[in-house]
Amino acid sequence: MVSDGWTNKVNDAKEGVKIDSKTSVNGFNEMRAFGEVPFAPMLVFKALCNPQYTETYDKSIAESRLLRKICANTYSSYDKTKPEFMIAARDFVTVVHNELRPDGSILFLFFSDDSIENEVPAGKPVRAKVFIAGHLLEPVPGEPNKTNMSMTYEFDFGGSLIKSVIAASNTEAGYLIVALRKTLEKYCKDHKISQ
C-alpha cells in the first residue's frame, strides 16, 4: 500500500517508472505514474500537445485532433483508440486545459464535459468518459533539460469491459512516460532542436 488507497503496481528501476492504482470514488480504476524525461518541460509539453505526435508515444490511439479553442489555454479535442483483440475502439471528446505555473511546472489536464459531447457525434466507437486525466511536468532543479513527469488517468471506458482489463490497460498507460522519451527525440529532430 502506498497511501490514500493507492497500491504500487510497478516500480521499474530499469525504465525509471513507478505506477500506482486504486479504485476511485466513482468506482473505476485510477492510475498514476511517475518518471523522469530527459528533456525540458516546455519541450515535453509541446510534444504532448501536438496531435501529430500522439500516436508515436501512445500506440493505442488511432486518431487525435484538436477541435476548437474554447478560451485561453483551453481547447476541445477528440481521440479515438484502435480496437484491440476483442475490445472495441473507444472515443473521447474532452476539454483540454494547460497552465504554465510560476515555479516553471506545466499542468496539462483533460476531462469530459457534456457541453462539448456533440462536437463529434457518438458513432461506431464506444463513447468513453474521462473523469480526469493529466500530466504535471516539473523542472528538475539544476537540470534544465530534465522533467519530472507525473500523470494520472481515470476513465469510464463504457461498454462491458471487465475490471482486470481496465486495470491492465491503465497500468500499461503508465509506460507512456517511457515511450514519450523516444517521441521527444523525434520531435527535436523534426524541429531541429538541440538541448
Q: Which residues contact 64 (CB under 8 A, 6 or more apart)?
A: 51, 54, 55, 77, 78, 79, 80
* Nearest Cα residue to 89 out of 41, 157, 16: 157
What pLDDT band is residue 1 in, cutting at 50, 70 and 90? very low
- Looking up residue 66, the CATH number of its domain turns out to be 3.30.530.20
The reply to whether 46 falls in a domain is yes
What pLDDT band is residue 85 in, cutting at 50, 70 and 90? confident
Q: Is the dihedral of CA 93, 46, 170, 88 positive or negative?
A: positive
**Cell for 135?**
500530466
- Cβ-contact 117, 96 below 8 angstroms: no
The reply to whether 17 falls in a domain is yes
The reply to whether 99 falls in a domain is yes
Contacts 24+ apart (CB under 8 A), 12-15: 15/175, 15/178
The reply to whether 2 falls in a domain is no
Residue 73 has pLDDT above 70, yes or no: yes
Distance CA 131, CA 110 (A): 8
The reply to whether 11 falls in a domain is yes
Give 29 or 112, the one with higher predicted confidence: 112
Q: Are strands 90-100 and 126-127 parallel, antiparallel or unpaired?
A: parallel
* Nearest Cα residue to 52 out of 66, 41, 42, 38: 66
Specify the number of domains making up the chain: 1
The reply to whether 195 falls in a domain is no
User: For residue 28, what pLDDT is reported?
Assistant: 85
**Mean pLDDT throughout 66-85?**
92
Distance CA 69, CA 151 (A): 23
Range of 57's domain?
7-190
The reply to whether 1 falls in a domain is no
**pLDDT averaged over every residue in the chain:** 90
User: For residue 4, what pLDDT is reported?
Assistant: 85
Residue 13 has pLDDT above 80, yes or no: yes
- When mean pLDDT is compared across 5-9, 51-55, 105-109, 182-186, the lowest value belongs to 51-55
**Mean pLDDT throughout 24-44?**
93
- Cβ-contact 132, 29 below 8 angstroms: no
Distance CA 110, CA 61 (A): 16
